[in-house]
């Protein structure tokens, strides 16, 4: 912490978590999820609409289902692709009503949900593994097995640039300030590029096996990724210095998410569980909760914009909605205390 200054609450909190060992002791399990059934095969990804009222999920059969979050009922089923759909993403522009879907048919489809019409079909060179919009919904990043991240102009449907990695891309993310694009790759690396120039900024290494879900801290100062080697690792984007690594699960980490209020870190795993970590507390105290119920690999997790709900996509053909409000409220006070302590330490 010394010499770096304060980059924001999540930056401090990640430092607290990622520099302490994780003891995988038994923890309290919670199974009180709302189970959304309607998929006939593995569910690969989930995403909330900007207003949090709709959840999109996609599966191995090429189907995308839109769910009413309040009722848990399906409101629309889209035969989106001829092959499995691996990723879904809503535009962050609340007035756009745009959903992107990407699949193993080497295409991305941009849907206008207000009309049900296709806006664009974007042709790629291989499987589309991950999708992410920038903050105003004008640019879409698409990761692919072709070892590239393609940036697309959403309005025109034109490809802006292709960012090259050396491994198949498993996950992509825009930084909250829109200045960087990150990608996790099958060969265990995390790449950072300048979102405006396409210049490669950093190549971050250390995973033993594939790097999976990737995301940025709320202030864009830290990039975080899960790994096939059961770990979560973080790096400072300013210089690539490791913010430490910790083993979080008994099997590989398949996805990561941070709550909108920056109090909770969530990890999904091949061990069929989801673990919720209080960012303010030492990781040596173990997870705040373990969410169980999925009977196969948990492929992805996502928070609703208000942080109340966590959605999970399972290899058991189900989507689950977890009420996170109690867990989040319980961690707020501890987060504030840890932030104050870290700030005092940094000032010394």
Q: Which domains does the chain have, with CATH numbers?
A: 9-347 (2.130.10.10)
Q: Please write the tens of the pLDDT for every residue from 124-136.
A: 999 999 999 999 9
pLDDT of residue 67: 98
pTM: 0.86
| Gap between the Cα atoms of 274 and 33, Å rounded | 12
**Rg of the chain over all Cα atoms, to the nearest angstrom:** 19
3-class DSSP state of 206: coil
Torsion of CA 55, 259, 220, 314, to 10 degrees: -50
pLDDT of residue 181: 98
pLDDT of residue 347: 61
**Is residue 122 packed enough to be buried (19+ CB in 10 Å), middle (13-18) or exposed (0-12)?**
buried
pLDDT of residue 340: 63
Lay out the sheet containing 242-247: strands in order across: 211-216, 222-227, 231-236, 242-247
pLDDT of residue 94: 83
pLDDT of residue 32: 80
Q: What are the DSSP calls for 109-150, one per residue?
A: EEEETTTTEEEEEEE-SS-EEEEEE-TTSSEEEEEETTSEEE
Which residues in the chain show pLDDT less than 70? 1-31, 244, 282-284, 328-348
**Is 9:262 a contact under the CB 8 Å cutoff?**
yes
| Gap between the Cα atoms of 305 and 114, Å rounded | 20
């Amino acid at each position: 912490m010394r010499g770096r200054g304060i980059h924001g609450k999540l930056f401090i909190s990640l430092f607290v978590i990622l520099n302490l060992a994780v003891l995988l002791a038994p923890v309290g399990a919670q199974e009180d999820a709302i189970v959304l059934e309607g998929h006939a095969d593995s569910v690969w990804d989930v995403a909330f609409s900007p207003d949090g009222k709709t959840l999109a999920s996609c599966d191995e059969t090429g189907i995308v289902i839109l769910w009413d979050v309040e009722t848990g009922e399906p409101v629309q089923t889209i035969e989106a692709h001829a092959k499995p759909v691996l990723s879904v993403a809503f535009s962050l522009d609340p007035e756009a009503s745009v959903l992107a879907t990407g699949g193993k048919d080497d295409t991305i489809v941009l849907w206008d949900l207000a009309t049900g019409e296709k806006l664009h079909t974007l042709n790629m060179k291989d499987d589309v593994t991950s999708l992410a919009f920038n903050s105003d919904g004008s640019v879409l990043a698409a990761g692919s097995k072709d070892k590239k991240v393609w940036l697309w102009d959403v309005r025109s449907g034109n490809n802006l640039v292709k960012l090259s990695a050396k491994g198949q891309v498993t996950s992509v993310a825009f930084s909250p300030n829109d200045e960087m694009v990150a990608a996790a790759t099958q060969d265990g690396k995390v790449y950072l590029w300048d979102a405006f120039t396409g210049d490669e900024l950093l190549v971050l290494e250390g995973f033993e096996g594939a790097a999976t879900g990737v995301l940025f801290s709320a202030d864009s100062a830290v990039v975080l990724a899960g790994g096939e080697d059961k770990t979560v690792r973080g790096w400072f984007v300013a210089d690539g210095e490791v913010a430490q690594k910790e083993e979080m699960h008994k099997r590989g980490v398949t996805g990561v998410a941070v709550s909108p209020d920056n109090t909770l870190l969530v990890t999904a795993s091949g061990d069929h569980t989801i673990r919720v970590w209080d960012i303010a507390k030492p990781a040596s105290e173990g997870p705040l909760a373990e969410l169980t119920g999925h009977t196969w690999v948990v492929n992805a997790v996502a928070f609703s914009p208000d942080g109340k709900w966590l959605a999970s996509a399972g290899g058991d053909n189900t989507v689950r909605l977890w009420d996170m409000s109690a867990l989040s409220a319980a961690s707020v006070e501890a987060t504030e205390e840890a932030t104050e302590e870290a700030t005092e330490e940094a000032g010394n």
